[in-house]
Each structure stands twice: as structure tokens, then as C-alpha cells.
Amino acid sequence: MPTLLFASGIDDPAPWQAAFAKHRPDVRFRVWPDVGDPEEITHALIWRIEEGALRKLPNVKAIFALGAGIDQIIRDATFPRDVPLFRLVDAGLREQMTEYALYGVLHWHRQMGQYARQQAAGEWRMLEAVHPSHRRIGVMGLGVFGMDIARTLAAMGYDVAGWSRTPKTLDGVEGFAGPDGLEAFLGRSEILINVLPLTDETRGILSGRLFASLPGGGALIHLGRGGHLVEADLLAALEGKQLDWAMLDVFPTEPLPADSPLWAHPRVFVTPHVAAQPVSDAATSVVLDNFNRFERGEEPSGRVNIAAGY
């Protein structure tokens, strides 16, 4: 009998259990840490699980991620690399990610932070406006999310560029690729949006060196992964005005520790890893579809290249 182990640490199992009960009543649904007999587990559906736990499931045939990013799963040195791992591709997350990026762009581009401060001081003062065609935005990562963000911003008239590992051609978006293309890309990015996956190559990429390559006085919108950001370098870049503002959704330690200086920083906007949340019919149907496809011997969507790390 197919038996699915659900383990998250952050997601409520109820909607997932209900979706399986409705569409695949033949599948036994177990919720971590109530694994039962580990030999019975045939599939896993996880955001994050205790280190070494997957290794103890000798008959697991496929692992489905509860997220688009999977670094938190494969960082476990004992992760069973011979078992296929499937991440969420879009699955209702794309529109949410684009909304989040758009919110950050509009907030900074339209100087809403400054207007809020002026309102608090009862000050009626018009600031100089910048036309979208003169606002240069850079999107790091041109995958499912980055492409949608770049396309949406370009359609709104912004001057948009994107950076990816391999070259991409996108109408209305200037493309840069690889380490050789990074400097030129950064040099034109007044607003930098990060939607990279966290891999060995991208860990710590949002560092002082990178901030120094930006035009200066711009904004960072960071919705990739906490491990991309060197927090002390961000604080220094804000202090030195190399960056004017940062909107951060992801952090090296989540929840963000109570003593983090980011909480109260006047030019930092913190959100608790909510840019996109996978509790929707779209996400459950993608996982169910992948589950069914895998059982039929067809290729599910989102197979992770473990060696590349995404």
C-alpha cells in the first residue's frame, strides 16, 4: 500500500491530508514524527526533516518538496541521492512572488517610505519623480519566478535586466549570464531583486563585494534564501548609503532572532518568509499530479539536479 510521510516544521498537514484523502484515498498519510514502520514509507512530502531521517526509510521511492527551493532538504549530507526529488514548479507560487517583488519596486520607486515619514511629520512636500523607463532593475535568477518578475516589470515600462547561470533570451529584458556577466549586470541595477536558489555557487552572494558593484543609493529586494545574504555586509552597505533600502523575506536563521538589528532598522522592511506560500489548490494538485505521474512511470515536473543544487 502506498504510504506517504509528511514532514514540514512549518506547514499545516491538514490541507495536504485532505487533498490526498479526497483524490487518493488508497494512500496512507503519516505525519512526522509518527512514521510508524519506516519500511512501509514509499513516498515523502517534505519542507524540512530531521537530519538523517530520510536515510532511515529504506523503501522510499520518491521525495516531493513542499517548496520551490530545496536547499533545506539536500543540505543533509545523508540525503539519499539515488532517490528522485521533485520541487514545486510554479504551483501557485509564481504570482505571489511577482506580487511581492512588485510591491517592493513600487514602494521604493514611488518613494513611499519617504512620504510615510513626511506624513508622520505633517510635511507637505513633493519629491522628484522618476519615469519607469529611467528606473533600472536587475533580477538575479531567471527561472520560473525571475522570468515572471522580469517580464512583468518590463511590461510596466521599467528598464529591466536579468542574470542567470546560462544565457537566456527574454523580450524586453537585457540578459547577462555567468560570473563574467555579473559586474555589468550589477553596475546597472538600481533596484536589485534576488530570486536565486541557494547552492554552493550562490551562498553568500549578497556580500559587500556585490553591494560595492551596484550604482549606489538603490534598493535590494531579497526573496531567495537567507544563506545568500551576508547580514553584516548589508548593514554596512545601508550605513554607507551604498544601499538606501532593503526588503527582506528570507534570513540565515528563521525565525529572525529577536536581537537581530534588522528588526528595528529604519531602512529595512522585514517579512517572515511569506513572499509565496504553497497552501493552495494549485500546490496540492501539482503534488498529486506528480505523485500519480511517478506511479504511472511518467516524468513528474520539477526533478531536481542534485549535483547543481537546484
Interaction between residue 183 and ligand NDP (CB under 6 A)? no
In sign, the C-alpha dihedral spanning 204, 209, 215, 217 is positive
Residue nearest to ligand NDP (CB): 143
Cα–Cα dist 195/233, whole Å? 19
Q: What is the 3-state secondary structure (H, E, C) of 214-240?
A: CCCCEEEEECCCHHHECHHHHHHHHHC
Residue from 30, 48, 94, 225 carrying the catalytic annotation: 225
Q: How far is the CB of 188 from ligand OXD (least distance, A)?
A: 28
Interaction between residue 216 and ligand NDP (CB under 6 A)? no
Cα–Cα dist 151/25, whole Å? 40
Cα–Cα dist 71/48, whole Å? 9
Cell of 180: 563574467
Q: How many CA atoms lie within 13 A of 231 on its CB side?
A: 18
Cα–Cα dist 67/200, whole Å? 19
Residue from 55, 188, 265, 273 carrying the catalytic annotation: 273
Cα–Cα dist 262/65, whole Å? 29
Binding mask 105-134 for ligand NDP (x = CB under 6 A): ------------------------------
Q: How far is the CB of 147 from ligand OXD (least distance, A)?
A: 16
Closest CA to 73 of 88, 91, 58: 88
* Residue 222 annotated among the catalytic residues of the structure: no
Q: Return the residue of 7, 45, 67, 242 that touches ligand OXD, per CB under 6 A.
A: 67
Nearer to ligand NDP, 23 or 273 (CB): 273
CB atoms within 10 A of CB 25: 9
**Partner interacting with residue 243 (select from ligand NDP, ligand OXD, none; CB below 5-8 Å by kind):** none
Residue ranges in the chain assigned as alpha helix (H): 14-23, 71-74, 94-109, 112-120, 144-155, 178-187, 208-212, 231-239, 281-296
Q: Return the residue of 41, 46, 60, 68 that touches ligand OXD, per CB under 6 A.
A: 68
Q: Return the residue of 62, 249, 284, 288 that touches ligand NDP, per CB under 6 A.
A: 249
Q: Return the residue of 141, 218, 226, 300 that touches ligand NDP, per CB under 6 A.
A: 141
Residue nearest to ligand OXD (CB): 67
Closest CA to 181 of 162, 197, 198: 162
Q: Return the residue of 149, 191, 225, 233 that touches ligand NDP, per CB under 6 A.
A: 225
* Residue 225 annotated among the catalytic residues of the structure: yes
Stretch 261-280 residues interacting with ligand OXD (CB under 6 A): 276, 278
Interaction between residue 197 and ligand OXD (CB under 6 A)? no
Interaction between residue 146 and ligand NDP (CB under 6 A)? yes
Q: Report how far apart, in Å, the C-alpha atoms of 189 and of each of 10, 158, 253 are.
A: 34, 11, 27
Residues near ligand OXD, by CB under 6 A: 67-69, 88, 93, 276, 278
Residues near ligand NDP, by CB under 6 A: 67-69, 93, 141-146, 163-166, 168, 195-199, 201-202, 223-225, 249-250, 273, 275-276, 310
Task: Give the residue numbers annotated as catalytic, written as ranges.
Answer: 225, 273
